[in-house]
Amino acid sequence: MDRIAITGGARLHGEIPISGAKNSAIKLMAASLLTDEPLRLTNMPRLADTRLLARLLQRLGTEVVERDGEEGAETVLHTREIISALAPYDLVRQMRASFNVLGPLIARTGHAKVSLPGGCTIGARPVDLHLEALRALGASIDLHEGYVYAQAPRGLTGGRIEFPFASVGATEHAMLSAVLAKGETVICNAACEPELGDLADCLNKMGARVEGACSPTIYIQGVDRLHGVTHTVIPDRIETGSFALAAAMAGGEVRLTRTRSDFIDALLDKMVEAGVEVTRHDDGMTIKRNGARLQAVEIETDPYPGFATDLQAQFMALMTLAQGESVIKETIFENRFMHAPELARLGADISVSGGEARVRGVASLDAAPVMATDLRASVSLVIAALAAKGETTVSRVYHLDRGFERLEEKLSACGADVRRIVGDGESED
């Protein structure tokens, strides 16, 4: 498998354009199953996850065309008819979000057979809430041999969906399922992430009637059909935050463009508290650090607009060189400190107890071979390596390719010494 080699010590100077949001794009792609007209998505990221979902959609009957448009990369998805309502294990197991084709398939065809997505290295992420939401809309659900068999031969019917806690994936899945249901659906304790607003905007352009997205209560009035539209994917807030932290770790001055600073307010506030200079612009922000030592700060992950769990690993990397002790509390996922032992290989001083990690800043980090355990952990190792003495190699970077587009190219353009070693290192197994 590929590896990435980083020689630390170079300060970063330049501009990094941010790609479209992965977590938004994959749900927007699933929305193409809800109409027999073309859905054109612009500002599309080219990632392993979007390519995988495209393969699944093609198997279900969607024509997928990737091309370069006037606004950059775009994807046109056209599902004239559903030729198969089966989403097999070999595809669904590779990306949990592909499970979200279940609701649109039921809404469009009245039945579906979709594999359960399987385990996750960052902790248990059951699909119970997804299935309960579909049951609330009138679908009958049976589980056999690792598959969900769902039926609603007379179509879905609006209902009241009450989540015990705010789940982004379950809220998005409920929205995708309810837009073609008969009558009104109310989603209570809904997640409020920006990606939900993006999905609602696209669905409304398609003719849906969704109100209250990005608030705890969402109202959906079902419609008979949806039509095709052109929609621009919002910028990726996790990529934005990751590059902001990379610039702060390496030092220098980097301008992040084609993004929105308000998507990562919680992160930027903590970066300023740590001693990083942040200047906001209409199209992004500038991150600047002159080399002065960072100060340790405490964070606690929370649902949006709190500190994103998907930025916790990257922030931990930054705190490894901060003066003092930083306490990092993870409240969203268990097992999400798997990057800590790998950061320790670079010389970081980290102790983990349950959902809390204590990071005692060290004077410097030293290069070592490290291994990515998941998507966000992989980029945290790259961030740490930017400041480590010597050459660090990060293996299992297929995790990185799931969510970061042209990472090496973007960092190299700002002066980082980073390169990909193709087909070398250990196998995926």
Residues with active-site annotation = 120
112's tokens: 């579906």
pLDDT tens, 187-215?
Answer: 999 999 999 999 999 999 999 999 999 99
Residue numbers in the known binding site are: 22-23, 96, 125-129, 310, 332
Residue numbers in the known binding site for phosphoenolpyruvate are: 22-23
Enter the pTM of the model: 0.95
293's tokens: 């030592």
pLDDT bin (cut points 50, 70, 90) of residue 1 is: confident
What is the spatial distance between Cα 305 and Cα 315, in angstroms, rounded to a whole number? 16
pLDDT tens, 360-371?
Answer: 999 999 999 999
pLDDT tens, 316-347?
Answer: 999 999 999 999 999 987 777 999 999 999 99
Mean pLDDT, all residues of the chain = 94
Is the separation of the CB atoms in 300 and 329 below 8 Å? yes
pLDDT bin (cut points 50, 70, 90) of residue 424 is: low
Name every residue whose Cβ is closer than 8 Å to that of residue 19 and which is 6 or more positions away in sequence. Answer: 43, 45, 235, 236, 239, 405, 406
pLDDT higher at 388 or 124 = 388
Check pLDDT > 80 for residue 125.
no
Burial 94-126 (b: 16+ CB within 10 A, else e): bbbbbbbbbbbbbbbbbbbbbbbbeeeebeeee
22-231 is a CATH 3.65.10.10 domain: yes
What is the rounded average pLDDT of the residues 28-53? 97
3-19+235-421 and 22-231: identical CATH topology: yes
What is the spatial distance between Cα 359 and Cα 355, in angstroms, rounded to a whole number? 13
The share of the chain scoring above pLDDT 70, in percent, equals: 97
Check pLDDT > 60 for residue 120.
no
pLDDT bin (cut points 50, 70, 90) of residue 429 is: very low
pLDDT bin (cut points 50, 70, 90) of residue 399 is: confident
Predicted confidence at residue 188, as pLDDT, reads 98
Predicted confidence at residue 333, as pLDDT, reads 79
Predicted confidence at residue 377, as pLDDT, reads 83
Tell me the CATH architecture of domain 3-19+235-421: Alpha-beta prism (3.65)
Which sequence spans correspond to the domains of the chain?
A: 3-19+235-421, 22-231
Check pLDDT > 70 for residue 122.
no
Check pLDDT > 60 for residue 354.
yes
The neighbouring-strand residues paired with 424 are none
